[in-house]
Amino acid sequence: MPEVCIRYWAAARAAAGVAEDTVHAATLAEALAAVARLRVDRPRLGAVLAISSFIVDGTPAGARDPADVVLGQGSHVEVLPPYAGG
């Protein structure tokens, strides 16, 4: 199974308590489930992930089903929670 890097930004970083995690996952859905298991001590993270956008290897995942977003060895997933500002 590919090893992928999950990078957290803004509120996602605060909720995770770290800037990034490394997990083994073949799809975005598997990666998010792995993060939830890894950070079970950070219950707010699940809520933040549920409202976040994801960029996989520089391409927005958009409205695609996370189970359909394939990850490869060394993929990078950017977790972008909604934010306000100008």
On the question of pLDDT at 86 being above 60, the answer is no
Q: Tokens 């490869």 sit at which residue?
A: 72
pLDDT digits (tens, 9 = 90+) for 8-63: 999 999 999 999 999 999 999 999 999 999 999 999 999 999 999 999 999 999 99
Q: Are strands 76-80 and 3-8 parallel, antiparallel or unpaired?
A: parallel
Alpha carbon distance 56, 37 (integer Å): 20
Secondary structure letter of residue 84 according to DSSP: -
Give CA–CA dist 31/35, Å, rounded. 6
Give the closest residue to 64 by CA, choosing from 27, 37, 25, 20.
Answer: 27
